[in-house]
Amino acid sequence: DPSETLASRRDRAFHLHPSSNLAALRTEGPLVIVRGDGVHVIDEAGNRYLEGMAGLWCAGLGFSERRLAEAAYRQMLELPFYHAFSNKVAAVSAELAERIVGVAPAGLSRVFFANSGSEANDSAVKLAWYLSNAVGRPEKKKIISRRRAYHGVTVASGSLTGLPFAHGDWDLPAPRFLHTETPHHWRYAKPGESEEAYAERLAAELERLILAEGPDTVAAFFAEPVMGAGGVIVPPATYFERVQRVLTKYEVLMVADEVICGFGRTGQMFGSQTFGIRPDVLTCAKMMTSGYVPMSAMLVGDGIYRTLEQQSEKLGVFGHGFTYSGHPVAAAVGLETLRIYEERDLLAHVRRVAPVLQEGLRALADHPLVGEARGIGLIGAWELAKDRDRRESFDPKAGVGAQVVKNAQKRGAIVRVLPGDIIAFSPPLIIEAHELRELLARAEAALDETWEWVRANGLV
């Protein structure tokens, strides 16, 4: 194709894309983005797209926040790298740790830094194992997460993930990783079952699994407050309260994966606050730096920290950490991100505009392609269905969700399709009401066009 750009040719020739359909890329080529502007990104040809996913749920402050660029630049001139091994630390990393503890859910008082969500979750798995050994219960090592969870793709975090693409040919999950039910009321509740009754059934199922495995063998339970990449699944009322009762009973650590929910997505600083979760361990990443530089964290409370301190006294070291743990440039960007949150009262903004997204999504709940419209705060989805009443999905091979994404892209809107033909929305938190309306209008037009295509192709 003579019209193909240099960047596209390079990409197709040399780049191995993460998490992509490589065969489709070979024929269709990439969408090459060159610039950001507020909640928009701009491609090589100058087309503007409303970024309805904040990239990968992360660019909370949009794509052109100069203060973050300047904070990184200043830090690069001042101290571009330092580490936090043994007795060293960059001043800015310590300041960010204090700031994060200041906004964290009650009881979390120490911050361990890493670079990605996967690494933070990996660290939390290792921590659970380490603690079991430290307290003389070496058999207590199994980890439970949920089917459809997304916790990353490293060996441990990919094992936590409950989606087939992360397992199958990758020889995961590794031993000691177990999965329990997905808390999706619309899809899995019995006819007439209330959210509370369904939540109770899920908690009972979790308890059954713990008892079947033996409570003395189960160390931790991992959960996203709202499941993200598994389909934007908002837990049924009272779910976490009931689940936590079971975890407490069997001394199983509650690990909240706030990689998506953390830093305002649900309208509070953390999803744990929105859903009344009292995590023993919390992981976060993405919006912590608005995605501008990689950084993640694992938070723990005083009790766990004391155990780690005692062990390191015994062993001479706390043997876990990364070269870039608390990287000063990332820390400077993280600090500036949190300052902007506070100065602009971004959480109040999210709560103000969230109804535009949520009502807009639900306004199309009876669209012939939509099975369920759902979400909370500035995260939401349409789950497409062939037959809403029977909750019947389309044949995955038909690519109905991918068609919606393509039709939206044509109209200057970026949304994402998740496994199961679920169309996800997770825009930058700075998005204004009129921009949300525009995003929804373009997505609706994409749905309509896809509906025509579905009918023309005899898919219903």
The residues, ordered by sequence, that sit 6+ positions from 20 with a Cβ below 8 Å of its Cβ are: none
CB of 6 to ligand PLP, least distance (A): 28
**For ligand PLP, the closer CB: 93 or 118:** 118
Residues 162-221 that bind ligand PLP (CB under 6 A): none
Specify which residues 415 forms β-bridges with.
none
CB of 233 to ligand PLP, least distance (A): 12
For residues 156 and 121, the answer to whether their CB atoms sit within 8 Å is yes
Residue in the block written with tokens 């033996």: 214
Q: Which stretch binds ligand PLP (CB under 6 A): 38-46, 185-193, 223-231, 243-251?
A: 223-231
For the purposes of burial, counting CB atoms within 10 Å of the CB of 431, is it exposed (0-12), middle (13-18) or buried (19 or more)? Answer: buried
118 counts as binding ligand PLP under rule CB under 6 A: yes
Measuring CA to CA, how many Å separate 388 from each of 298, 335, 410? Answer: 40, 45, 27
152 counts as binding ligand PLP under rule CB under 6 A: yes
- Rounded to whole angstroms, the Cα distance separating 296 from 211 reads 33
**For ligand PLP, the closer CB: 223 or 446:** 223
Q: In terms of DSSP H, where are the helices of 189-323?
A: 195-213, 239-249, 271-275, 302-315
Q: Which stretch binds ligand PLP (CB under 6 A): 83-91, 117-125, 304-312, 362-370?
A: 117-125
**For ligand PLP, the closer CB: 160 or 353:** 160
CB of 150 to ligand PLP, least distance (A): 5
150 counts as binding ligand PLP under rule CB under 6 A: yes
**For ligand PLP, the closer CB: 2 or 18:** 18
Q: Which stretch binds ligand PLP (CB under 6 A): 28-36, 146-154, 208-216, 375-383?
A: 146-154
116 counts as binding ligand PLP under rule CB under 6 A: yes
Q: Which stretch binds ligand PLP (CB under 6 A): 90-98, 144-152, 209-217, 376-384?
A: 144-152
Q: Which stretch binds ligand PLP (CB under 6 A): 41-49, 224-232, 394-402, 410-418?
A: 224-232
**For ligand PLP, the closer CB: 117 or 328:** 117
CB of 367 to ligand PLP, least distance (A): 27
**For ligand PLP, the closer CB: 151 or 388:** 151
Q: Of 359, 358, 364, which is closest to residue 445 (Cα–Cα)?
A: 364
The tokens describing 194, both together, are 């209330």
The count of residues interacting with ligand PLP (CB under 6 A) is 15
3-state secondary structure of 256: strand
55, 105, 228, 375: which one binds ligand PLP (CB under 6 A):
228
156, 229, 346, 443: which one binds ligand PLP (CB under 6 A):
229
3-state secondary structure of 254: strand
- Rounded to whole angstroms, the Cα distance separating 182 from 188 reads 8
CB of 346 to ligand PLP, least distance (A): 20
427 counts as binding ligand PLP under rule CB under 6 A: no
φ/ψ of residue 422, rounded to 5: -105, 125
Helix (H), strand (E) at residue 145: strand 142-146
- Rounded to whole angstroms, the Cα distance separating 98 from 385 reads 46
117 counts as binding ligand PLP under rule CB under 6 A: yes
Instruction: Check residue 227 and report its DSSP letter.
Output: B
Instruction: Check residue 270 and report its DSSP letter.
Output: S
122 counts as binding ligand PLP under rule CB under 6 A: no
For residues 290 and 430, the answer to whether their CB atoms sit within 8 Å is no
Q: Which residue is nearest to ligand PLP (CB)?
A: 117
Residues 246-265 that bind ligand PLP (CB under 6 A): 257, 259-260
The tokens describing 253, both together, are 């650590």
- Rounded to whole angstroms, the Cα distance separating 367 from 52 reads 20
The tokens describing 410, both together, are 């044509």
Q: What share of the chain is helix, strand, coil (3-state, %, to 5)?
A: 45, 15, 40
**For ligand PLP, the closer CB: 118 or 393:** 118
65, 224, 435, 444: which one binds ligand PLP (CB under 6 A):
224
Helix (H), strand (E) at residue 220: strand 218-223
- Rounded to whole angstroms, the Cα distance separating 374 from 248 reads 30
CB of 145 to ligand PLP, least distance (A): 10
**For ligand PLP, the closer CB: 140 or 151:** 151
Q: Of 229, 207, 225, 226, which is closest to residue 144 (Cα–Cα)?
A: 207
CB of 160 to ligand PLP, least distance (A): 9
Residues 43-82 that bind ligand PLP (CB under 6 A): 56
CB of 152 to ligand PLP, least distance (A): 4
CB of 55 to ligand PLP, least distance (A): 10
The tokens describing 351, both together, are 């709560």
CA angle 320-326-288, nearest 5°?
Answer: 115
Q: Which residues bind ligand PLP (CB under 6 A)?
A: 56, 116-118, 121, 150-152, 224, 228-229, 257, 259-260, 285
